[in-house]
Amino acid sequence: MDVNFRKIDIDAYDEDVLHESELYEADPRDPSQVLSEAKAKSASVRSLLSKNDISGALSAVLESAPYGPNVEEAKIVTLQTLLTIINTTKSTEISGVVKSLPQDDQDTLMKYLYKGMAMPGWGDISGSVLLGWHEKLTEVAGTGCIVRTMTDRRTV
Amino acid sequence: MPASEIYTIAQAPVTCHAFNADRSQVAVSLNSTDVQILTKKGKDWVATDVLKEHDKTITSIDWAPNSNRIVTSSQDRNAYVWQLTDGVWKPTLVLLRINRAATFVRWSPNEDKFAVASGARAIAICSFDPENNWWVSKLLKKPIRSTVLSLDWHPNNVLLAAGSADMKARVFSAYIKEVDERPAPTVWGSKLPFNTICGEYSSPSGGWVHSVGFSPSGDALAFTSHDSSLTIVYPSDSTPTTHSVRLPSLPLVTLAWTTESTIVAAGHDCQPLLFTSSPSSNNSWSLTGSLDSSAPKTAAKASPVGRLNNAAFQTFKNADSRGAGAGGAGGKGEETELATVHQNTITSVRAYSGGVGEVGEVSTTGVDGKLVIWSVDSGSVGGLVGKLGGMRM
């Protein structure tokens, strides 16, 4: 069957098409500013980790995490920082750390866990570490947290 | 004491339901093109009438209590007003002028208008034109960007709330010159020509808005969205106060205010949840419990897996942890029932008894074909009062 017609971008012929940008409010910050903030956070997380303050480090990196278009580099830096934290946390500590996070941060953390799972083999992503965190986070924040990760268009 | 009346009215999903004024009859659609009128006979609901006119699935039904008229909307892009004359329900076609499915319909409080939501990014406000003897519509279009999924009228018969798949809940003026008197100013505004936008609110994590509802006084708006949250908005001249309750469980798809400070909402978690605002902490809202006392006590509070936490889920979990086949199919009478009364998503919750602002019972229907009438007070008898009592101590 010829399915070539499916290659036509029908939205291009719709004057009243709904654009991605209308579905959520973009990050008000400038992309370069977002990047420099992400890098600064990466440094402060390292110092927090050396003091063994995992909750503090997680809150720092999850606070105003970059989202939306044009900030790909900052997103990667943030993901890298987050991976450093979760890879160095002992599995017995995860529950306590997750419970100490405010709800906003729990939702953002879940977004990063899914982002990590979508990039197998990238950097030092370890599937078992991500799944361990995912299990503990779901126990605390519930399936609602996963639903919010899936619906939210402000992807990290 | 039975906390709820449970009726299995069909082995099919119930799309929506609407009771008549004295609650002796209920109009339901079983995911089909007809509306069935069920009459209460003894302890059962018996089908006594069928309204056939739509030729695609019916999406919504509303029964006007005073004028005893039914309005139905359907995916066939039409709405009909049904009137009982000489014992027969007679339909009147409504000129909706929309080119997509009609998704939701509600009579206005005075029953002289109704609003039809649609997939055509528009809401049709319909009023009766006595000269031509038909219902005419006026469309609310701007600034709706996607399908409108739910509506609710303000008690003043003019303002209309709409929840839409573009992640927004909005408050519009649906003022029709021929029908309405000039409305008194409300918290939503004072000058209200047709299509005035009195408020526009986003869901907290970008979920489309499933249901909207004005509080009994009309001074607050609640909406549930697919990001598993319930949001309550108190408008004011400067900045509106917004309270969001983010749930640990699956999204809520329908809500009903029972008093000015309590809301019952239900959805994919198969149980009606009760939300209350506490005057002590700045009117902030929180989840206080489930009306379903058979649900696991912890479910409403923070059950991590919600409806997934049933026997079937446990079977697989055990099989996973103990190795494949553990327990097996021949185990101890495997149960696949959920612990809740409703066995599937609740699609509609509506006030059943008690006046506006002092609702004593709510009715729910769902995909499992059940109709359940819940006492809102009894929900508090077990867990809630206990918890609240504990808080006071």
What's the pLDDT band for B128 if we cut at 50, 70, 90?
very high
CATH 3.40.50.300 fits A28-151, yes or no: no
| Rounded average pLDDT over B160-183 | 94
Answer whether B145 sits within 8 Å of A142, measured CB to CB: no
Res. B238 pLDDT band, cuts 50 70 90: confident
Q: What is the pLDDT of residue B118?
A: 97
Q: What pLDDT digit, counting tens, does each position of B39-70 carry?
A: 999 999 999 999 999 999 999 999 999 999 99
CB contact under 8 A, A151 and B206: yes
Q: What is the ipTM of this complex?
A: 0.88
Return the residue in A143, A152, A156 with the most chain B beta carbons within 10 A, the one to mutate for interface testing: A143
- What are the extents of the domains in chain B? 4-392
* B139, B122 Cβ separation under 8 angstroms: yes
Please check whether residue B297 is in contact with residue B289, taking contact to mean a CB–CB distance below 8 angstroms. Answer: no
Q: What is the DSSP letter of A95?
A: H
Quote the pLDDT of residue B344: 94
More confident residue, B390 or B128: B128
Averaged pLDDT for residues B4-19: 95
The yes-or-no verdict on residue B260 having pLDDT over 70 is: yes
pLDDT band at B389 (very low <50, low <70, confident <90, very high): very low
Residue B359 pLDDT > 50: yes
Closest alpha carbon within chain A to B302? A142
Cβ neighbors of B101 (< 8 A, separation 6 or more) are B56, B59, B74, B75, B76, B77, B118, B119
> How close is the nearest chain A Cα to the Cα of B205, in Å?
5
pLDDT in the model for residue B331 = 43
Summarised one tens digit per residue, pLDDT across range A52-111 is 999 999 999 999 899 988 899 999 999 999 999 999 999 999 999 999 999 999 999 999
- In the prediction, which pLDDT does B65 show? 96
Helix, coil or strand: residue B270: coil
CB contact under 8 A, A147 and B228: yes
Contacts for B338 with CB less than 8 Å, ≥ 6 apart: B270, B307, B310
Distance CA B306, CA B104 (A): 28
Smallest Cβ distance to A107: which of B205, B208, B308? B205
Say what the pLDDT of residue B301 is.
43
CB within 8 Å: A23 and B167: yes
DSSP structure class, residue A14: -
pLDDT of residue B324: 56
Q: What pLDDT, on the 0 to 100 scale, is given for residue B328?
A: 44
Nearest-Cα residue of chain B relative to residue A136: B304
Q: Do B146 and A18 touch (CB under 8 A)?
A: yes
d(C-alpha A112, C-alpha A128), whole Å: 15
User: b or e along B277-303 (b: 16 or more beta carbons within 10 Å of the residue's beta carbon)?
Assistant: beeeeeeebebbbbbbbebbeebbbbb
Question: Are the CB atoms for B326 and B318 separated by under 8 Å?
Answer: yes
Report the C-alpha gap between B105 and B210 in whole angstroms: 14
The residues facing B63 across adjacent strands are B70
Mutation for A interface: B201, B246, B249, most A CBs within 10 A: B246
Element (H, E) at A75: helix A72-88
Which residues in chain A touch residue B253, judged by CB atoms under 8 angstroms apart? none
Task: Name the residue with higher pLDDT: B247 or B337.
Answer: B247
Q: What is the pLDDT of residue B231?
A: 97
CATH code given to domain B4-392: 2.130.10.10
With CB atoms and an 8 Å threshold, state whether A152 touches B206. Answer: yes
